[in-house]
């Protein structure tokens, strides 16, 4: 017995209750229940952890620790690159705090879990509507792992070993993809881009595609924020070579940019975080995974999928997990993936978010973002020596900012901005050295004109300081 005072989280930690229960079990002390653990392995000391604290103390210490952070609310921040600042409506926050949803497990017993099952079915349906696809699963961990799974799925379907990826790809997506495909014996091959527009180099694509190609993967908008305009041609190239076409999306763009189903996508992956989920220092995120209504594709899909059904007496429509025979708890080593827990509650948040926005809200969101990003690019371009964007292509919410013609490096500009309580974009000099002193900036609906103006003023000051 280690404690005399009952802990608030442990109802049976009252000494008398424990005594009574031990009597029923037929033991004198709890240690008897651990008697089968070899003594030599037993921990003979206490764990070396801080003393237990009261709730009030925990709160004070945590708040103190967290106050060492400067958030995107403390300084105008222009970071994106796979995790983006978007507003999360209060209604979304309220719904996902409903403890019936929050404290539930995977809906193995559908009759008592209809609420979550229906919410996830609705999420799948909304993802299908915005991407144009017909089937979606109820989430992957994030965009990067969704891409890894999509590539493996393409290889299973085609029995081929190579995946063509754009050279302009998020380095973390590329790295994760690599981790996922390497053990399956797959290789990724990068396809170069046009240095003027950033667009995928179709000539290079044609030389690299072969009977080994399982899939072509593109991102739209691309990692560097511009929109890939040759999507039809790329799709055709994939399908002419009997490869799959995988498209990665930022869903906030799908109110304004053509949905991937319209240009031949077989699998759509993406990051659902911007749909009603906070950034949370990069996690949890929400991996979108959708495909065409094709029996072969569906059978090879990874992840949980919720399906519509009826009660056994057929009196009511209800929901349950479908196609579980693809999954690890049934199929074990032959499963399409090992995933079980995913990001279900984040998916519910996204369903609530999309329900709030509706078709017109999603379009308005896209237009607002594009207007603000365009304004930011124009404003920054006016600063002597600054080029934004680098590529001659239409952009969505992110864009490159190049400092080659200024006398400062990206890092120096960043330091200067921080002094003005502005956090600039992501430094690309290591990822894409060929782009010179370039950073990736992001503007969303959360940035006001004042925020953008402040960025421009701070940047101008910073760059002029260099000259003085």
Partner 1 sequence: MFRQARWNEPVIFKLGYPGRRGYITPKTEKEIQQVAGDPKEFLPEKLRRKTPPKLPELSEVEVVRHYTRLSQMNYGVDLGFYPLGSCTMKYNPKIDELLARSPAITSLHPYQDERTVQGILEIMYKLSQWLAEITGTHEVCLQPAAGAHGEFLGALIMRAHQKLNNKLDEKTEIIVPDSAHGTNPASGTMAGFKIVVVPSDENGCVDLEALKAAVSERTAGLMLTNPNTLGIFEKDIEQIADIVHEAGGLLYYDGANLNAILGKVRPGDMGFDIVHINIHKTFGTPHGGGGPGAGPIGVSKELEKFLPVPRIAFDGKQYLLDYDKPHSIGKIRGFYGNVAVLLRAFAYIMSLGADGLEEIAEVSVLNANYLLKKLEKIRGYELPFAPQRPRKHECVFSAKTLYKDKGVRALNVAKRILDHGIHAPTTYFPLIVEEALMIEPTESYEKEELDKFIEVLKKISEEAYASSEKVLEAPQNTAMTRLDEVKASHPRTMALSWKMHLKKAKH
Contacts with partner 1 in 5-34 (CB under 8 A)? 7, 9-13, 17-18, 20-22, 24-27, 30, 32-34
How far, in Å, CA of 246 to CA of 219, rounded? Answer: 9
Let me know if 412 is exposed, middle or buried by CB neighbors in 10 A (0-12, 13-18, 19+): middle
Using rule CB under 8 A, residue 370 touches partner 1? yes
Number of residues that bind partner 1 (CB under 8 A): 218
CB of 53 to partner 1, least distance (A): 5
What character string, x for contact with partner 1 (CB under 8 A) and - otherwise, covers 198-217?
--------------------
Sign of the alpha-carbon torsion through 277, 278, 284, 289: positive
Choice between 289 and 403, CB closer to partner 1:
289
Options 371, 384, 404, 419; binder of partner 1; rule CB under 8 A: 371
* Tokens encoding 319: 């929901």
Q: Which of 156, 208, 239, 374 binds partner 1 (CB under 8 A)?
A: 374
User: First-to-last CA distance in the chain?
Assistant: 71
Q: Which is nearer to partner 1, 47 or 468 (CB)?
A: 47
Q: For the purposes of burial, counting CB atoms within 10 Å of the CB of 73, is it exposed (0-12), middle (13-18) or buried (19 or more)?
A: exposed
The answer to whether 451 contacts partner 1 (rule: CB under 8 A) is: no
- DSSP H or E stretch at residue 64: helix 55-66
Q: Residue 110, interface with partner 1 (CB under 8 A)?
A: yes
Q: Which of residues 125-154 bind partner 1 (CB under 8 A)?
A: 125-130, 132, 134-136, 138-139, 141-145, 152
Residue ranges in 248-267 that form contacts with partner 1 under rule CB under 8 A: 254-259, 262
Question: Per-residue string for binding with partner 1, 171-200, x by CB under 8 A?
Answer: -xx-xx-xxx-xxxx---------------
Residues of this chain, 402-421, that bind partner 1 according to CB under 8 A: 414, 418
Which residue number, 1 or 242, has a Cβ lying nearer to partner 1?
Answer: 1
Contact status: 384 vs partner 1 (CB under 8 A): no
* 207, 210, 325, 419: residue in contact with partner 1 (rule CB under 8 A): 325
401 touches partner 1 (CB under 8 A): no
CA-based radius of gyration for the chain: 26
User: Which range touches partner 1 (CB under 8 A), out of 73-81, 190-198, 202-210, 399-407?
Assistant: 73-81
Pick from 204, 222, 267, 356 the residue near partner 1 by CB under 8 A. 356
Q: Which of 387, 397, 408, 423 binds partner 1 (CB under 8 A)?
A: 423
Tell which residue, 242, 141, 145, 228, has the closest CA to residue 191: 228
159 binds partner 1 (CB under 8 A): no
Tell me the C-alpha distance between 447 and 442, whole Å: 9
Q: C-beta of 232: minimal distance to partner 1 in Å?
A: 8
Residue 16: C-alpha distances to residues 13, 22, 288, 333 (Å): 9, 10, 51, 47
CA atoms of 182 and 111, how far apart (whole Å)? 41
Judged by beta carbon, residue 78 or residue 193, the one nearer partner 1 is 78
62 binds partner 1 (CB under 8 A): yes
Asked if 109 is part of the footprint of partner 1 (rule: CB under 8 A), the reply reads yes
Residue 47 burial by CB count (10 A; 0-12/13-18/19+): exposed, middle or buried?
exposed
Looking at the Cβ atoms of 101 and 241, the one nearer to partner 1 is: 101
Tell me how far apart the alpha carbons of residues 273 and 444 are, in angstroms, rounded to a whole number.
Answer: 14
Residues 6+ apart with CB under 8 A from 316: 310
Instruction: Quote the least distance from Cβ 449 to partner 1, whole Å.
Output: 4
Binding piece for partner 1, criterion CB under 8 A, among 71-79, 190-198, 209-217, 236-244: 71-79
State the Cα–Cα distance between residues 168 and 198, nearest whole angstrom.
8
- Which span (45-53, 160-168, 196-204, 456-464) binds partner 1, by CB under 8 A? 45-53
CB 382 within 8 A of CB 455: no
The residues near 73 (Cβ < 8 Å, ≥ 6 apart) are none
Residue closer to partner 1 (CB basis): 29 or 195? 29
Q: Facing residues of 213 across strands?
A: 162
C-alpha–C-alpha distance, residues 468 and 260, integer Å: 50
My answer on whether omega of the bond before 361 falls inside 30° of 0, hence cis, is no
* CA distances for 183 relative to 12, 148, 160, 161, 179, angstroms: 47, 11, 14, 12, 8
Provide, rounded to whole angstroms, the least separation between the CB of residue 358 and partner 1. Answer: 4
Per CB under 8 A, which of residues 336..355 are in contact with partner 1? 337-346, 348, 351-355
Task: Write out the binding residues for partner 1, residues 265-324 only, by CB under 8 A.
Answer: 278-285, 293, 295, 298, 304-324
In degrees rounded to 5, what are phi and psi of residue 200?
Answer: -55, 135
Instruction: Report the nearest approach of partner 1 to the CB of residue 207 (Å).
Output: 26
């Amino acid at each position: 017995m280690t404690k005399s005072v009952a802990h608030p989280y442990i109802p049976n930690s009252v000494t008398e209750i424990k005594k009574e229960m031990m009597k029923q079990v037929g033991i004198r002390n709890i240690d008897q229940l651990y008697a089968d653990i070899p003594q030599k392995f037993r921990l003979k000391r206490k764990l070396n952890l801080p003393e237990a604290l009261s709730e009030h103390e925990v709160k004070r210490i945590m708040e103190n620790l967290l106050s060492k952070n400067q958030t995107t609310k403390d300084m105008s921040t222009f970071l994106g690159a796979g995790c983006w600042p978007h507003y999360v409506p209060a209604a979304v926050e309220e719904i996902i705090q409903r403890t019936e949803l929050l404290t539930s497990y995977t809906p193995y017993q559908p009759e008592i879990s209809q609420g979550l099952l229906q919410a996830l079915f609705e999420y799948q349906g909304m993802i299908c509507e915005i991407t144009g696809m017909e089937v979606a699963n109820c989430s992957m961990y994030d965009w990067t792992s969704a891409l890894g799974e999509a590539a493996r799925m393409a290889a299973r379907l085609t029995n081929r070993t190579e995946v063509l990826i754009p050279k302009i790809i998020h380095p973390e997506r590329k790295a994760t993809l690599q981790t996922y495909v390497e053990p399956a014996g797959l290789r990724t091959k990068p396809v170069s881009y046009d240095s003027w527009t950033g667009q995928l180099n179709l000539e290079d694509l044609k030389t690299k595609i072969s009977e080994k190609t399982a899939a072509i993967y593109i991102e739209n908008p691309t990692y560097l924020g511009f929109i890939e305009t040759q999507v039809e041609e790329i799709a055709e190239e994939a399908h002419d070579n009997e490869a799959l076409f995988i498209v990665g999306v930022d869903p906030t763009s799908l109110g304004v940019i053509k949905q991937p189903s319209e240009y031949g996508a077989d699998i759509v992956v993406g990051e659902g975080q911007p749909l009603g989920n906070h950034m949370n220092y990069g996690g949890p995120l929400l991996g979108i995974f959708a495909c065409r209504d094709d029996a072969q594709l569906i059978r090879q899909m990874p992840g949980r999928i919720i399906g519509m059904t009826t009660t056994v007496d057929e009196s009511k429509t209800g929901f349950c997990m479908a196609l579980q025979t693809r999954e690890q708890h049934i199929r074990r080593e032959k499963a399409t993936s090992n995933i079980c827990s995913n990001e279900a509650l984040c998916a519910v948040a996204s369903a609530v978010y999309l329900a709030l926005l509706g078709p017109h809200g999603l379009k308005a969101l896209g237009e607002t973002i594009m207007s603000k990003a365009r304004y930011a690019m124009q404003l920054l371009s006016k600063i002597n020596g600054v080029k934004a964007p680098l590529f001659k292509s239409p952009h969505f919410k992110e864009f490159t900012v190049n400092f080659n013609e200024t006398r400062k490096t990206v890092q120096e500009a960043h330091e200067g901005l921080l002094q003005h309580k502005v956090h600039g974009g992501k430094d690309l000099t290591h990822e894409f050295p060929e782009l010179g002193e370039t950073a990736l900036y992001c503007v969303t609906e959360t940035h006001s004109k004042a925020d953008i103006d402040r960025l421009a003023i701070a940047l101008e000051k910073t760059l002029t300081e260099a000259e003085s």
